[in-house]
Amino acid sequence: MTACCKPMDRRATGLATRVSRLGGAPGRLRALAVWTALTALTGCGDPKDGVTRLSPRGVPFLDGVPVPAGFQLVDRMTEDYESGAQRMARHVYEGAADPNAVRSFYREQMPLVGWNRVSDQNVKGSIAIRFEKQTEACHITIDRSGTLGRVRIQAVVMPFNRSPSEAPARRPMP
């Protein structure tokens, strides 16, 4: 068993053992298939507070805004514009994940690429997180898309300018 996966419960381990006793190489192959399927169903990753940890996609769709691996860009709901050093983008991504795992993903990944979290809320299952850099703001919205554990992420990046004299109000984050 790999180090990244949760241990299977006794029933799952017993099932894999019974399948392997079916005999010979085909039985071992079946046992491996059952073990792989059970491992995938129980989740793999580094669970933190019961939430599976997501990894970032190799190349993001939008520069400087990470996307969880396995999420796809929804072209019909996406727009972006760039002129000079300013850009405006509204990207929508869909994929299969737990909304709280996606929330944790953005809490961890955005600071790694230079964003500061300024607000974070969950209202009736709709999660909204706002991040800021010196010249941009990024608003992430995470919702269930209604089909079999699918999640929709909307990332809106817009120009942002805060004068040096006005510091953002800071409250301790939970």
Angle (deg, nearest 10), helices 24-42 and 10-20: 160
Question: By mean pLDDT, which of 25-29, 73-77, 103-107 is the weakest?
Answer: 25-29
pLDDT at 120 over 60: yes
**Location of structure tokens 């850099």:** 133
145 has a pLDDT exceeding 80: yes
- Which tokens in the block code for residue 172? 């301790």
pLDDT at 60: 87
Quote the pLDDT of residue 8: 39
Q: What is the pTM of this model?
A: 0.66
User: What is the predicted pLDDT for the residue at 97?
Assistant: 94
Residues 6+ positions from 89 with CB-CB distance below 8 Å: 62, 65, 79, 80, 81, 155, 156, 157
Model pLDDT, residue 37: 39
**Distance, first Cα to last Cα, the chain:** 35
pLDDT at residue 84, rounded to an integer: 85
Q: HSE (CB half, 13 Å, CA atoms) of 116?
A: 10
State how far the Cα of 160 lies from the Cα of 168, in Å rounded to an integer: 13
pLDDT at 14 (0 to 100): 46
